[in-house]
Structure 1
Amino acid sequence: MEAYAVIETGGKQYRVQQGDQLDVELLDGDAGASLEFAALAVSDGTALTVGTPVVEGAKVTASVVEHLRGKKLYSFKKKRRKGYRRKIGHRQELTKIQVDAITA
């Protein structure tokens, strides 16, 4: 079992391993910028360390690959028999990051 960590960003938690790429809520920083996240939990492959709320001295270093927009989601509402209809679309701004290192 490989080492992994659990990080939190954008109000969501992600389980990451070194080399992983994932789309998260929009973050500051241009493409190529380095980011650091506090680790909520860290595993070295054999033992799991869970923080309260974070593991002291543990961090995850990642780099920004690109900024993109997510899939379009539609919200539709209507009132029957009244001719009232509204269709609204939304695309979430996302940042693709690549995990460079997990240090415990």
Structure 2
Amino acid sequence: MERFAIIETGNRQLIVKENDVIKVQKLDCDKGAEVTLDKVLCLKNGEKAEFGKPHLTGVKVTCESLGDEKQEKVIHFTYRRRKDSRRKVGSRQTLTVLKVKSIG
């Protein structure tokens, strides 16, 4: 049976399994550092599932930081017809890449 957890990080909810590689909003950690995510919403282990209200206590997901990378550029273009006015703005969000080591 598969073991997975639903975690909350960076205002997003992600389903993670052991040895998964996930991308989350930038965390303040070095490459190769161990990161502990403790906002676990759900834990499924075989046939048994546990749900938190809102988070489970005593359950943590341990990850290893693989470094930072940037997302693709998102372009926002504003155009006002007949006004000779246009504005183009682009941004790239920085993400932290994590490898899930253990759930529990």
Report Cα offsets for 1:30-89 as digits up to 9, x if no partner: 101111112111000212100011112111000100101101010000110111010100
Q: Matched residues in 2 for 1:58 and 1:92: separation?
A: 29
Unpaired stretches in structure 1, ≥5 consecutive residues: none
What is residue 90 of structure 2 aligned with on the other side? 89
State whether residues 73 and 91 of structure 1, in contact with CA within 8 Å, keep that contact through their aligned partners in structure 2: yes
State whether residues 4 and 45 of structure 1, in contact with CA within 8 Å, keep that contact through their aligned partners in structure 2: no
Unpaired stretches in structure 2, ≥5 consecutive residues: none
TM-score normalised by L of structure 1: 0.95
Q: Matched residues in 2 for 1:19 and 1:46: separation?
A: 21
Q: Matched residues in 1 for 2:71 and 2:46: separation?
A: 33
Q: Matched residues in 1 for 2:76 and 2:46: separation?
A: 43
What is residue 69 of structure 1 aligned with on the other side? 70
Q: Matched residues in 1 for 2:42 and 2:50: separation?
A: 6
TM-score normalised by L of structure 2: 0.95
The count of corresponding residues between Structure 1 and Structure 2 is 103
What is residue 25 of structure 1 aligned with on the other side? 25
Q: Deviating runs (4+, > 3 A) in structure 1?
A: none
Q: Percent identity?
A: 38
Q: Secondary structure at the match of 2:29?
A: coil
Q: Secondary structure at the match of 2:97?
A: strand
Q: Matched residues in 2 for 1:22 and 1:37: separation?
A: 12
